[in-house]
Amino acid sequence: MAENDVPRFGQRSEQWTPDGSGAASGGGDAGSGGGETSEGTSSWPQYGQLEQDAQSPQPTWGQYPHADVPAGDVPPSPAQPGVSGPYGTPVQLPSRAWAIALIVLGAVATFIVSGVVFLAVLSSGINIGAIVGKSTIASTGSSVNVDDSGSILVFTSSTKPLTCALVDSSGQETALVPTANTPTLLGHTDLTPGNYTLNCGEGTSDLNVITGTSPEQMVTAVMHAFWWGTVVGVFGVVVFIVGIVKLVRVNRKRAIARQTAR
């Protein structure tokens, strides 16, 4: 065999045709066709071709999750925690329940309970219902009645000092004295029950007259009620401030926990 007649690697056979009809002749030439079959197709996988046995079978209707559940009835997925640590583990955030409870308790004690305590203590010291029923609005020259308690209290909303006296039927005057060092709050005790004429000077009107309680008793009841109401109010303010401080600290801890979980 001449040197030029030796087939070189990759050289096609002279009997090769595009439709592969020449592949059947010359068994040796088939081997030089690069793995081509007798039908003219390659036995090796072509680019982009997938082996049928390597493909995963497509799931049927019954294989899908919740496939047998009607539309709209698919159970929801479990709720995911708002903050997760490594590998999806939930992070336990500090609770703000106690802080919020203290804030609410402090606000209620300051604005509601203190007022209730004031009225309760005041009612225990004096009969508010009887006082309101016996209170009247008078002016100078008006007739007032002193009951069996022999006490009377006269006061006004004006800031001007009052100078008043009671005049009995015989014309005798009994001066009313300031109570609790307040010139707009006058009173007297140990009076003889009966009708009196109130004399507070010319042009004096819109005077509040209360009988049935002494000025000292009234002042004492008001002072006690004010003291207890103030105590409860201050307690509420302290609790409210403590709640605010705790809420700020808890929020700071929650922020740190969120940052750590990222």
Q: Model confidence over 186-243: pLDDT tens digits?
A: 888 889 999 999 988 776 778 888 887 777 788 888 899 999 999 999 999 999 999 9
69-78, 188-197, 231-240, 248-257: which range is least confident on average?
69-78
What does the alpha-carbon distance between residue 179 and residue 121 come to, in Å, rounded to a whole number? 21
pLDDT value at residue 183: 80
**Residue bearing the bigger pLDDT, 170 or 19:** 170
Token couple for 122:
């005041």
- Residue linked to tokens 């604005």: 111
Is it the case that residue 25 has pLDDT exceeding 70?
Answer: no
Q: What CA–CA distance (Å, rounded) separates 221 from 121?
A: 7
Residues contacting residue 188 through CB under 8 Å, at least 6 positions apart: 151, 152, 166, 174, 175, 176, 177, 215
Q: Which CATH number is 127-212 given?
A: 2.60.120
Q: Is 102 left (phi over 0), alpha (psi -120 to 50) or beta?
A: alpha
Measured in degrees and rounded to the nearest 5, phi and psi for residue 113 equal -65, -40
The count of other CB atoms within 10 Å of the CB of residue 168 is: 15
pLDDT for the residue 100: 95
**CA-to-CA distance for 20 and 48, rounded, in angstroms?**
23
pLDDT at 56: 52
Whether the model pTM is above 0.75: no
Burial of 99 (0-12, 13-18, 19+ CB in 10 A): buried
| SS3 at position 197 | strand
> What residue segments make up the domains of the chain, in order of their start?
99-123+225-252, 127-212
Eight-state DSSP code of residue 82: S
| Crossing angle of the two packed helices 215-261 and 114-125, in degrees rounded to 10 | 160
Q: How confident is the model at residue 106, as a pLDDT? A: 96
State percent of the chain over pLDDT 70: 65
- The pLDDT tens digits for 154-194 are 888 777 778 889 999 888 999 998 887 788 888 888 899 99
